[in-house]
Amino acid sequence: MFVYQDAATDGVTLPFETEGYIYDNGTLVHTTGGIGSSAIGRVEDIYNDTYRRIKARDNWSVPTESGFCFDGGIVTGSSTYTEEVSQSFALMPGRPALLVIQMRDAVDADEKTPLTKTLPRLRAQMDRLPAHYRILRQGKRTIARMDAEEVLFELKEGALTSYRFYLLAPGDKSTLAKPHTAIQLLLGASSPDLTPEHATSLVDETGALLTWDTLLNSLRLRPGAVSRQLPNAAE
C-alpha cells in the first residue's frame, strides 16, 4: 500500500492519497482512497484491518457471509467505516438505456427529505426540456423490505418517447440492512448523435413499467448479510 500527497501548499494541511494492491486466488484487487492528516498515524492499522478481510469471489456466486461485495471480491465481516455505493448499468450498449443505483448509510436528515419534497425540482427539470411530459405513476411502495417512494415520468418529443423513473428509500439508521437507496431508470433520451429511431425507448409504456417493477422486485436482502449488520446488503 502507498500513502502519499500529490501536492503541497504552505500553511495548508492537505489530505493524503492512498493506493494499494491485494492478490488473492488469482485475482488482483486495486484500491484507491484518501485519509486525513489527523489519522495518518493510524493509517497502517486502518488499512491492515480492511485488507486482511478482502477475499476474491466469483461475481456469479452470492456470498452467505456478512460483507461488502464489490466487483470480483468481498470485504468480509461487520462494517467498521461509513460505506457508499454508486453503480450504473448500461442495459443495452449503444442505446440510451441506463439503470443507476446509489446506496449509503441512512442518517436522521433522510427522514425529512422524501421523494415527494423533491418532486417540484424534478418537475422544474422536466419543464426545461423541449419534450412534453406526464406522470405515469407516483406514490409509495416497498423494496427489499424498505419503505420507498417512486415517481415515473414519460416524455414525448415528436417521434421520440423516453421514460425517467425515480425511486427513493430513506432507509433506517438503526439497521445497516436498510441503507438510504436511490434508483433511477432512464429509457430513451434525445441525442444529437442518434436518430429518433435509435434514441427513442425500445419499450412502450407497458414494457417500461414492467421493466421497472421487475428490477425493483428483484432487489432482496442477501442471505447472511444482516446477521452481523453489514450495510448495502441488498443486491
106-145 pLDDT, tens digit per residue, is 888 877 777 777 777 777 877 777 778 899 999 999 998 8
Tell me if 129 is assigned to some domain. Answer: yes
Q: How many CB atoms lie within 10 A of CB 66?
A: 21
- Per the structure, the count of domains in the chain is 2
Tell me if 229 is assigned to some domain. Answer: no
- The terminus-to-terminus CA distance of the chain in angstroms comes to 29
Whole domain around residue 123: which residue ranges? 85-217
Over its C-alpha atoms, the chain yields an Rg (Å, rounded) of 21
Asked whether residue 69 falls in the same domain as residue 100, the answer is no
Tell me if 233 is assigned to some domain. Answer: no
**Per-residue cell: 159:** 417521434
pLDDT tens across 140-185, in order?
Answer: 999 988 999 999 999 998 888 999 999 999 988 888 788 899 999 9
Asked whether residue 22 falls in the same domain as residue 35, the answer is yes
